[in-house]
Structure 1
Amino acid sequence: MGTVSILRLGRIRAAALVATAALITTSNITAVASAGVIAAEGDGHAAPSSFRHGRPLEPVPTSDSDWKATAQALGRSGKLSADHTVYRVGFPRSDLKVTSKGVAIKPGFALGSYAAFARYGDGKAMMMGDLVITEDELGKVTNALQAAGISQTALHKHLLAHEPPVWWTHIHATGDPVGIARRIRAALDQTATPPASPPSSPPAIDLDTAAVDAALRAKGTNDGGIYKFTFARREHVSSGNRIAPAGMGVSTGLNFQPTGGGKAAINGDFVMTAPEVQNVIRALRRGGVDIVELHNHTLDDQPRMFYMHFWAVGDPVKLARTLHEGVAAGNLKPAH
């Protein structure tokens, strides 16, 4: 073999070695990158629950008696959901006199703190909730929650300009429900939240509720003089390794408060996946509904959910039609 042929063969072999080395390096980089993603997904709240824990746990049915000790620890009784999976306790801030855009806000319209509990097959409970607190109470409540090991997962507003300044903070915990209830009570004790009042018959709603129902294609309920609608996600939403039922707060809530003269103020919360967010915003704005907040309620939900508060005052039927357009833009169904 001539010298030129030998040199050419050497170059071919060298090129082959370089290509092989590049392939190996690329494979190694891909493997390292994949390992890095796996490591990142295994840390903290960022990982999908199905990746970290396997199939998420489903809530188990319970009875009112199962929550008796929890209610005693909270100092307030709650209500069990129709499917018996969620025990929800409300703490309406009836002590507050809040005004927004000239509307006196009723507690059931936008000032309702709550804690919702669900039990799971591993014997533990998950709690998700939302506390309505004044700006003066905020620091003390935050300290109490952190000292008690209750996670805060959001801090935001539900209303536009309003007096006095009020904040809403979402809370989360997993474990013994009675112990969790005691820790929530310690935080509530840092506020002027009043004790529970006995249930009474709700006042009549000064709105054409039948027309509002028809516009929203759902049936509302009279909750203390506020006309309310709830829509659940069609898909399962998990928090950590547990499925969170709609009653835990993973739902769209639409509230109508009569303001006189056949008009109503609307306020509430849309729950959306990322691809739905802009469609819902556009639907609401086409009907003149203001956007108040866009945020998350939890740290590790799957699929990732975004929540959006809104506000408007006007003809309730026209507003209901606009809200229906927002509902239709998401994967929602009327909750029963």
Structure 2
Amino acid sequence: MILTVTPNPSLDRAYEIPPLVRGRVLRAGGERVDPGGKGVNVSRAAAAAGVRTTAVLPLGGAPGVLLAELLGAQGVDVTAVSIAGQTRSNIALTEPDGTLTKINSPGPALSPEESALLLDTVRSAAAEAAWVACCGSLPRGIGPRWYADLVTRAHAAGARIVLDAPGPALPGALAARPEVIKSDPSELAAAVGRPLPTLGDVIKAAEELRERGAGAVLASLGGDGRLLVSAEGTYYGTAPAPAVRSTGGAGDASLAGFLIAGGAGPAALASALAHGAAAVQLPGSAMPTPADLRPDLVRITGEPPLDLQLTDPGTP
């Protein structure tokens, strides 16, 4: 079972629009309302693949009720921690060329009691999980060391941890030794304090995070592919996506593919690539099913091209 933790979940409203022009009235050609948040999307992708998954979520107000209902309809078990605030709603605008513009609400503030209850709930639920995916931004009221506490508690329950945490929460959690860090060049650059213009630079940064406590680093490089740096080796892969429709949730689908395939080694990286490539060809933050995957198009190498210039290099 894959357990996911999303401290700041959302309802995501996605619209397909003509080219965005400020100050104009735009008419959407398509609309979706999906449960949102990085961990939520990992659970949705796992459920779409037929894998048992539970999402631990702080939920409040009518949006929280709707989010839980939508997840249940998609086959995701929900363990809710009731909060006084109202679950946030986000908006995503996708243009015909695949350009994604997101408007994210800050979300509710959690009280110290709600934060502690969320940690206790994760530890209780983690006892049945093969993997715990801790994902996304922290809500107001929670300090950056919260993820470190969560990793420690999940380890105490016997679970393996993958952490996808932006900002200061990432370096703060490394000492708790999560098995996998999922990141991108910008987040890695912020963690090591320097730009990462090439694939070789990303590999060096990933090795530094491993020295600081991460067991392995799974780096999402957007259209340039995916990278896995671990004790078993360093692997780089690509997968074509000829018709990019929306990038919303694609990185989370990729992480789900990685965990579904065991969370280690080139086979897991190949699964991550197949899931990510399938997701960007779907509307909004729709998650791919096995029928959408093209694993035959994935290419993996144990000899990464170190001088590859990244399309979106990380800057600290």
**Which protein has the bigger strand share?**
1
Structure with greater Cα Rg: 1
Please report the TM-score for the alignment, with normalisation by the length of structure 1. 0.28
